[in-house]
Structure 1
């Protein structure tokens, strides 16, 4: 067995004697048991995105009240899993394993986790440490540069410029280009003619 808790819910034709599809719930709990149950196909869509402890509650109800056929090894594995889940700490552990699994499966969750790690690392720099004025100024300059790059600046070696007239849009120019506002120049040229 792997060293992590795992629950997988799949829909397929598992039983050669059956003509329909079934929902398989596979559970692996290290040092406890590894087992799977075949449930009704209509349970698949109800279970596939639910947290694992909730899935196990549905399986428990299905096995208890649905009269699921089993053999002695399946019954022993079932009993071991259900005994393990009675402890609230184990349910919390299974919930944490489900959350980690969701994080690995979904790209948005991975990006959010990476951003949280970045923010935690930044916060760790300041916990128990009062920043000096020089550190604070360096941070503000770095952050200001990031924000300027987001505005329009530093696009392919160009920077944003504006003349101060609210009717004229911001434009891009090379760093060494010192010409004035193109809209002001057009207005001047029109007035000179």
Structure 2
């Protein structure tokens, strides 16, 4: 049976705690919102796979991770998308570095119907009504956070609680000469 998975970047524990606090403050002001209970993350991709397929995918993710090097990420701005998403954005250099990491997975993980995220951001809320988005923008105006991105996190969606949970953390190997062989995973 297929299950839903996502590959994400988790910031440091202190940033995760801060994001949780921001979500709670926002919920106090506007009520429940999409992503309220989600752990802070930067999405790389989402896909469906069977357990057997997942083993091949995890092996491929590890091979990609072996070629990647840790990067410093600076998150320095609250921002939003027209669809009601409210998030913390990386600075220009961090955006470029995160996008490079994301592209490595996008071009090498050839999973049918994979949903790719190509705009790195740390989500706070999704699908806020315009008036609630305005409140969020008024409540949160400045931020300055740093973390080292040295791994990716594989998560599985729990249909009962409607949340993703971590099933594996894969560290970067800092071995850029390692060969990645492109091919369809299934």
Same fold, TM-score > 0.5, yes or no: no
The structure with more helix, counted as a fraction of residues: 1
TM-score normalised over the length of structure 2: 0.20
TM-score normalised over the length of structure 1: 0.20
Larger radius of gyration: 1
The structure with more strand, counted as a fraction of residues: 2
Of structures 1 and 2, the one scoring higher in RCO (CA 8 A, sep 6+) is 2
